[in-house]
Each structure stands twice: as structure tokens, then as C-alpha cells.
Amino acid sequence: MTAEMIPKFLAYLQAMRGASTHTIRSYEHDLTLFFKTCEGTPDRKSLRSFIASQREQGISKRSIARRLASLRSFFRYCLKEGVITENPAELIENPKIEKRIPHSISYEQVEYFFSLPTTSTYPGLRDRAIMELFYSSGLRLSELSGLNKSDFDQKELLLLVRGKGKKERIVPITESAAKWIDLYLSHSKRPQDQDAIFLNKFGTRISPRSIDRLFVSYLRKSGLAENITPHIIRHTIATHWLEHGMDVKTIQLLLGHASMATTTIYAEVSSELKKKTVKNFHPRG
């Protein structure tokens, strides 16, 4: 009976919590995976058996923790709907995960990578504007893809951004990013009847996946050993903000983090960089 609640739960996530397509797909995958192995009514025993089988298959602790989180949310929903009388996942502990320090790159690497698009061409101009905006404001990939022309206030250097859970926030942007966006929007080859800011080669809104592919293609051309993705650029600007004296609370607001704990990890990044600098350059390092 409980597995039959999956479609209702996914619909609830979309309608009531504003979950993205990617998030819903992840929940569906995790729940389907569990119920394939579960015989009868799900309980703590079947959950522990599921976790054990995941470990045996070599699934990472991080992935197991995510699947447990999906199951907890699902059973919480079922409990609320009166389908079950207790949440079997509530007392199951997450595997201990080592905190992962976000990777960032240097400002010199940012400058070099951003110089790769041929801005005399229409596609190159768009790509440079995309890169500049990522570094300007630390947007998520889906946030940048979802931007409309009406969200861009060039005079005030502001953007209206729709983040996770459809939460809106106003984000300041740099003059440099605004300049590149304006050059791209006013280009003669850009279809002016489209609401989206960034368009693909077919003249419609560019997808997050297409932007990811752009970064892969430029990384290949760059010869850089570093892995540079939109998410790395987001980590990078957060780290650079911190190193230049911006407080963690402001960074949290700019990045759209719901929890301060998510943002404070950048303080650890900054500490690691300082330690590395001392080790490399101190006479007694």
C-alpha cells in the first residue's frame, strides 16, 4: 500500500514545496530503488537491510544518506496522510560522512577561463556573459538558466533570482557582468521576442545541461588541469568574497542558502587556503 503513495508524494513535492524536476526525479529514483527490495510493509528491519545491501554494492555514504533522507520525507508524508502509524526511517542513523571542502580556483584561472570565448561571435558573446554572471553573483545553474529579461535591472545592477523551492531573492551584479549581458541582449542575431535572457542555438531558453556542456567544451580548450564547472565558479566567488572580507551572513543571503551551516563551510575553505599558503611560502613552512 505504501509504495502506491509515491506518485501522490511526488505531486505534493511539486505543488506544495515547489521542488524542481531534478529533485523530484531523485526522490522517485530513491523510493523506487527501496521498494524493489522491500517485501511487505516497510519497517526498520527492511530499511536496515536496504542500507546494508547498498553498502555491499559499494554505494557511497553520501548517496546512502541522501536516499535515507528521501525515505524519511516520504514516510513523514505517509504518516501525515494516515497511511502508516510511525515513520520507520526516523530512528535510522545516517552513515558518518566526512565534510567535503568545496573546491575553488584562483582569480587568475577565472580570468584565463573567461578569456576563452570568442566574443566577436554571437555564441561567444553569450558564453562570456554566462561566465561573468556566474562569477558576479554565485548563481546556481538552474537559477541562471531560468532568468528572464524582466529580471534584469541594468540601471540598478540587480537581478531577481528564483532559487530552490521557488524562493525569490534580489541579487546585486557587477558592472562587468551587466555590460556583457547588455551586449548579448542587444546583439542583432539574438531573437528579441524571447523572454529568457540566455538562449540556445535554436533561439529558445538554454537548459542547465547545455550550459554544463559549454563549460566542458571550454575546459578542454583551456588545457587547465582543474575541473571548472558552474558549481565550481559558485564555490569560487563565495571563497573570494570571504577572503576579501565579506561576512558569512551576507554570503548566505547572496547565495540563497537556507541554512547558515551550508555557508560556514567556506570559512573552512579560507582557512585551508591560508594554511597552504603558509606551508608553501613561510621559511619554516
Is 48 an active-site residue?
Answer: no
> Is residue 55 annotated as part of the catalytic site, yes or no?
no
Among 66, 89, 65, 92, smallest CA distance to 77 is for 89
- Catalytic residue (choose from 164, 169, 187, 190): 164
Instruction: Tell me whether residue 234 is one of the annotated catalytic residues.
Output: yes
Query: What distance in Å separates the CA atoms of residue 17 and residue 285, rounded to the nearest whole number?
Result: 50
Closest to 3 in 3D by CA, of 23, 45, 43, 32 = 32
Q: Which of 140, 184, 235, 240 is catalytic?
A: 140
Catalytic residue among 128, 234, 235, 240: 234
Q: Is 187 a catalytic residue?
A: no
CA 119 to chain CA centroid, Å, is 27
Give catalytic status of residue 184 as yes or no.
no
Determine whether 266 is an active site residue. Answer: yes
Q: Which of 27, 77, 135, 266 is catalytic?
A: 266
Catalytic positions, written as ranges? 140, 164, 231, 234, 257, 266
